[in-house]
Copies of this chain bind each other. A is one copy, B any other.
Amino acid sequence: MTSLSHSGFFRMAPDSPESRVAIVGAAGYTGEELLRLLIHHPRVQITCITSRGNAGTPVGDVFPRLSGADLAFAEPDVANLAAVAEIAFLALPHGLAAEFAVPLLDAGLKVFDISADFRLKDIVDYKTYYNAEHPAPELLARRVYGLPELRREALRTAELVACPGCYPTSIIIPVAPLLKAGVAAVSNIVACSMSGVTGAGRKVETPYLFAECNESVRAYSVTRHRHLPEIEQELAESAGVDSMRINFIPHLLPMNRGILSTITLDAEDDELAVETIAETLRRQYGGEPFVRVLPHGKLADTKNVVFTNVCEISFDFDPRNRKIIVSSAADNLTKGAAGQAVQCMNIACGFDETAGLL
């Protein structure tokens, strides 16, 4: 919990042995969400937030909601970051994130990277989808993919965590258990996803103006979205296959926050009972604090999860076509980005996994 201003709005817990945290690239929507979560986190103190474009500016000038916090943006500087923090969150563009990750790891910090730089194991995929050589391939062997529900053990000792993209989170969580259990086939998976506009970041471009998004819905990047190889990589691992290929079709929706993914899959069994789907999901997630498997017949809805770290899942089975249909709802900025990164930090640092997230 961070030391805050004279207003008394936020107060430091006295005598707590807090870990010092830096947020690198804190002026976007993910940075704001990290701040929202970490300012009140009981085990950490924010010691540095950086933003090239806002260096010197108090945080409240950029994010009025956070006006009470006694924090100002600084220029990003590796030496300074290493001096003031044990933990760094990177909310930077891909490519740039690796430039910070390398020296910060060398300096002994734990690094939670919310960019795409360490998500893909295959540097050829990285080059294909990001049009650049991988900036730090030597680190890939050390990185852990930060989906706690599937990688909790590896996360306990992780030093470099590649936090998943928002779409991958929303798709892998409902689908992975079905593949792992052999309930669904690896071929012919179609994921139709719908995201609120903060999913595009705080980009000042015409397509994201209010009047261009409101009363509008559109698909985009329908064949080669950058999150595609990440989804396929993780699902293949769950399925126990070397590789697999799905269709992933994102849509932009007129709402601020939230992702809904509806995925259709072929059932392996002609006479699959809907209870089998339910059991498979509950077996995986029954004890999870941040995954909610709804009763059959209830439907996942983003309004039930925004501003929380929960991913909720609904499911059904269409015996006419032998299709499993699952929907997941999550907040793209929380479980889809900052909240999940904090959950990873909690695990990697030995904090209570739900600290700061309830």
Q: Please state if A325 and B249 are interface contacts (CB–CB under 8 Å).
A: yes
Complex-state Cα separation, A16 to B223, whole angstroms = 48
Q: Which residues of B contact A29 (CB under 8 A)?
A: 211
Q: Please state if B64 and A210 are interface contacts (CB–CB under 8 Å).
A: no
Interface residues of A in 161-199 (CB under 8 A from B): 188, 190, 192, 194, 196-198
Given A64-B312, A190-B264, A301-B218: A9 and B245 interface contact (C-beta under 8 Å)? no
Q: Which residues of B contact A317 (CB under 8 A)?
A: 223
Stretch in A117-125, A234-242, A254-262 touching the partner: A254-262
| Interface residue from B251, B301, B316 paired with A64 (Cβ < 8 Å) | B301
Q: Please state if B40 and A214 are interface contacts (CB–CB under 8 Å).
A: no
Q: Please state if B204 and A321 are interface contacts (CB–CB under 8 Å).
A: no
Given A64-B301, A210-B197, A215-B257: A223 and B316 interface contact (C-beta under 8 Å)? yes
Q: Please state if B318 and A223 are interface contacts (CB–CB under 8 Å).
A: yes
Nearest CB to that of A63 among chain B residues? B304
Q: Please state if A202 and B209 are interface contacts (CB–CB under 8 Å).
A: yes
A314 interface contact, C-beta 8 A: yes
Given A217-B301, A264-B249, A320-B245: A211 and B198 interface contact (C-beta under 8 Å)? yes
A351 interface contact, C-beta 8 A: no
Q: Please state if A218 and B300 are interface contacts (CB–CB under 8 Å).
A: yes
Q: Which residues of B contact A300 (CB under 8 A)?
A: 218-219
A308 interface contact, C-beta 8 A: yes
Q: Please state if B222 and A325 are interface contacts (CB–CB under 8 Å).
A: yes
Chain A, residues 290-306, CB within 8 Å of chain B (1/0): the string is 00101000111111111
Complex-state Cα separation, A258 to B254, whole angstroms = 12
Chain A residues in the interface with B (C-beta under 8 A): 7-10, 29, 40, 64-65, 67-68, 188, 190, 192, 194, 196-198, 202-206, 208-220, 222-223, 245-247, 249, 251, 253-258, 260, 262, 264, 286-289, 292, 294, 298-308, 312, 314, 316-318, 320-321, 323, 325, 327, 329, 354, 358
